[in-house]
Structures are given as C-alpha cells and as structure tokens.
Amino acid sequence: MRIEAIELRIIALPMVSPFVAAHGTVSTRTSVIVRVIGADDEGWGECAALPDPTYTEEYVDGAFLALEEQLIPRLLATDGTIRAGDLGSLFADVVGHPMAKASLELALLDAEGRRAGTSLANVLAPHPPGPSEIVPAGVAIGLLASPEDLATEITSRVTEGYGRIKIKIAPERDIEFVRAARNAIGPNLELSVDANGAYTLNDSHALAGLDEFNLAYVEQPLAADNLLDHAELARRINTRVCLDESLTSPTVTRVALDMGACSVVCVKAPRYGSWLEAASVLDHCAGLGIDAWVGGMLDCGLGRAANIALAAHPGATLTGDIAATSRFFTDDICAPITVDGRDGQGTISVPSDSGLGVALEAAALARLTQRLTTFRR
C-alpha cells in the first residue's frame, strides 16, 4: 500500500460499569484509533493502551504523541508501497511503544486484507488447518465489593452463555471470592483468576490455597519483571501459572517457557507490538504443545474483531477474553459483537469478510471522537 494520509483520533466509550483490577479502575474507555488512507485503499486499527499508565507504561495520550511525533512521520516518509510486515524494521530504532506500533500494523493488515479479499483470521493462520469459524466466548470480571456480588455477576454471565469465567483477585480478596465463583458456576465450567502482579513470592502459601478450586490457571500472580520468582512459584503450587504482562516479546516468551516461569501463555498482540509476531507465538506454543489464549484490553469493536481473528488461530487452545460488546459498552464505533449462547456453550463468529471484517459506523465515530488529526505526505 502507498499511504497518502493517516487519520489519528481519540474516541471515548462510556462503560456499562467501572472495570476494577489491581492496577486501577477504568470508567470511560478512551482509545486511539488510526486510519491509513491510500489512493484506492484504507485500513483501520486500534491502539490498546489504557487511559492511564497503570497497566503498562503506555497510555492513551502518550500513545497518541508517539504516533504523532515518531511513528507516523516515519511511515509517511517511506517511498513507494509498504506492507504490514515491513514495520518491524521501519520502527526498529524507536524503543518501546509496542501498542502504538501494533495499531499501525493492524491498520495495514486491514487494508491488505481488503485489497486481497482475505480475512485477518486467514492472514494470521495461513497454514492448515487454518482458522476456526467460531471461537468460544470468555468473560473477565473485575474486582467486586463482596463474594456475594461476584456470585451474582457470574450467574448473569453464565446465563448469557459464557463458558469460561476469569475473575480478578488481589491479596485479601482471593480465596473467598474464588470459592464464591466456583460455587456459582459448579465444578466443571472453566474458571481462572488474574492477579495483575499483585502478589509476591512471600504470598505463595496464599496462592497455594487456590489449588482446591480446579482453576485453569492463575494469571500473572507476581511482578511482570520477575521471571525467576514465577518459576519458583510454579514449583510451589499445583495450579498452572500463566504469564501476561511479563511476556513482552516472542523471545521473552520462549525464555519464560524454557525456565518454567509459566506453562500457559496469554497472547496479546498489542503487547508484542505486532499481530504477526503474536501469531508466531501461537505457532511456537502449538509446536510445543503449550496451552495459549488471546487476551483483551477492554477493546472497542476494531480491537475486539482483531482479537477474535487471532483467537481463531489453532494455537489458541484455551478460551480467551472474547466477550460481546455489550459486556463493557453501550455504544461503539462498529456494529455490536454478540455471543451465541445456545446450549450454554457461548461462541462468537469469526469475521469472514476481508480485512478486519467489521464496518465502521460513521455517525457513531463522529459522536464518540474527542480529537482528530490528519497527517498527509
């Protein structure tokens, strides 16, 4: 694609209810949206950075600035055509900002898919058996005030058809909450917990208390930069350890697996800085027989559709953070993504149209946009 212009905007989506985790609370989901424009092509991408730098160092306003001052000028300065796969080398001298980089790559992948008449799911899983046509629906539930509130919330989500429940935990908000969750869903439904790095190795006894609940895994129990302690924790507890925030690149992911710091991988393309690299991580996990799943970032419709496409990869063996739009938002810039909850086995259809496979709603985009800047050659 030869890019003639790039639109950069910030949108604001009010949330159905505040989402609370150990790293903070999100009440309004602001997000950076990019649009690459060519003579006959266009593509859209979403930057996953959260409103504040509490989950990672990236945040909405910082990502906008990185795109505006560093990444977009490099992209517009290129001669001739450029492909999504070229961005790694083009941005190699820009340290960090993986979520901002991934948003531009996603926009180019969308444009390339539209031109080729190929879905993003097929681009990310090009080899047999190829991508799935549906993915199981999984929901993440934030920290709530009491175990009783959590049980009520979970019962509602199970009724909607979600077959995997993930709950946030934190010190002193763990065992009784997990017990309430397990009692609410019964012994067989998939249940996992996410600590967002809220514990230390000194809490291993408390984390071992989770073993009785038959969890699929405990996600990111310790600090993101502490692979050694994660490996030690994995030896002390029976519940499998999954890493999320720690896995900042395919190389780090391979190291974490090799040293036993985790036995389950959460794949987040924006954290890797590349949807193509994320697909390569799923290829690697599949080759090793390692369970992996696709994580979300309170994404709007664009990022949600991309996550669904990635979750259709055969290497995504566990249910990911693949929820309906209505779980988080009352309004969006795309048509709502819905769960088919028939037979209690909730699924979401993988977009099969070219590119991201979702259509932007112009009126909603205009209504929800807080800031818009256009860059031209």
Nearest to residue 331, comparing CAs of 112, 110, 41, 16? 16
- Please tell me the predicted confidence (pLDDT) of residue 20: 80
For residues 278 and 267, give the distance between their C-alpha atoms in angstroms, rounded to a whole number: 6
The pLDDT of residue 23: 76
Domain ranges (residues) in the chain: 3-117+357-376, 122-349
Task: Tell me the C-alpha distance between 358 and 141, whole Å.
Answer: 26
CB 240 within 8 A of CB 220: no
pLDDT of 343: 61
pLDDT at 31: 97
Q: What is the mean pLDDT of residues 234-248?
A: 97
Task: Calculate mean pLDDT across residues 343-350.
Answer: 84
> Among 51-55, 119-123, 213-217, which stretch is predicted with the lowest mean pLDDT?
51-55
Q: Which residues contact 244 (CB under 8 A, 6 or more apart)?
A: 194, 219, 220, 266, 268, 271, 295
- What pLDDT is stored for residue 147 in this prediction? 96
3-state SS class at 4: strand
Q: Tell whether the model's pLDDT for residue 344 goes beyond 70.
A: no
**Which 3 state secondary structure label does DSSP give 13?**
strand
Q: What pLDDT is attached to residue 352? A: 94
Average pLDDT of the residues in 330-336: 93
Tokens for 214, please give them. Answer: 């038959």
Residue 25, pLDDT above cutoff 90: no
* pLDDT bracket for residue 27 (50, 70, 90): confident
pLDDT value at 156 more than 80? yes
Q: What is the pLDDT of residue 163?
A: 87
Arithmetic mean of pLDDT, 9-23: 88
By percentage, how much of the chain surpasses pLDDT 70? 99
Q: Is the pLDDT of residue 371 over 70?
A: yes
- In this prediction, residues 339-349 reach a mean pLDDT of 82
What CATH topology corresponds to 3-117+357-376? Enolase-like; domain 1 (3.30.390)
pLDDT beyond 90 at 304: yes
Say yes or no to pLDDT of 341 above 80: no
According to DSSP, the β-strands at 190-194 and 164-168 are parallel
Q: Considering only CA atoms, which of 20, 22, 24 is closest in space to residue 203?
A: 22
Q: What is the tens place of the pLDDT at every residue in 128-148?
A: 999 999 999 999 999 999 999
Q: How far is residue 89 from each of residues 149, 230, 256, measured CA to CA in Å?
A: 49, 32, 25
| Over residues 250-261, mean pLDDT | 97
Enzyme catalytic residues: 168, 268
**Average pLDDT of span 11-19:** 90
- DSSP, collapsed to helix, strand or coil, labels residue 97 as coil
In this prediction, residues 306-319 reach a mean pLDDT of: 98
AA identity, residue 220 = Q
Q: Inform me whether the pLDDT recorded for 76 exceeds 90.
A: yes
CB 328 within 8 A of CB 15: yes
Residue range 263-299, pLDDT digits in tens:
999 999 999 999 999 999 999 999 999 999 999 999 9
Q: What letter does residue 117 receive in the DSSP assignment?
A: T
Task: Provide the pLDDT for residue 21.
Answer: 82
> Are 47 and 270 contacting, i.e. CB atoms less than 8 angstroms apart?
yes
Q: Residue 333 pLDDT > 80, yes or no?
A: yes
CATH H-level superfamily of 122-349: Enolase-like C-terminal domain (3.20.20.120)
Q: Does residue 29 have a pLDDT over 70?
A: yes
Whether the per-residue pLDDT at 12 is higher than 80: the answer is yes
Cα distances (Å, whole numbers) of residue 147 to 176, 218, 335: 7, 18, 34
| SS3 at position 8 | strand
Per-residue confidence (pLDDT) for residue 332, from 0 to 100:
95
How does the average pLDDT of the chain come out, rounded? 95
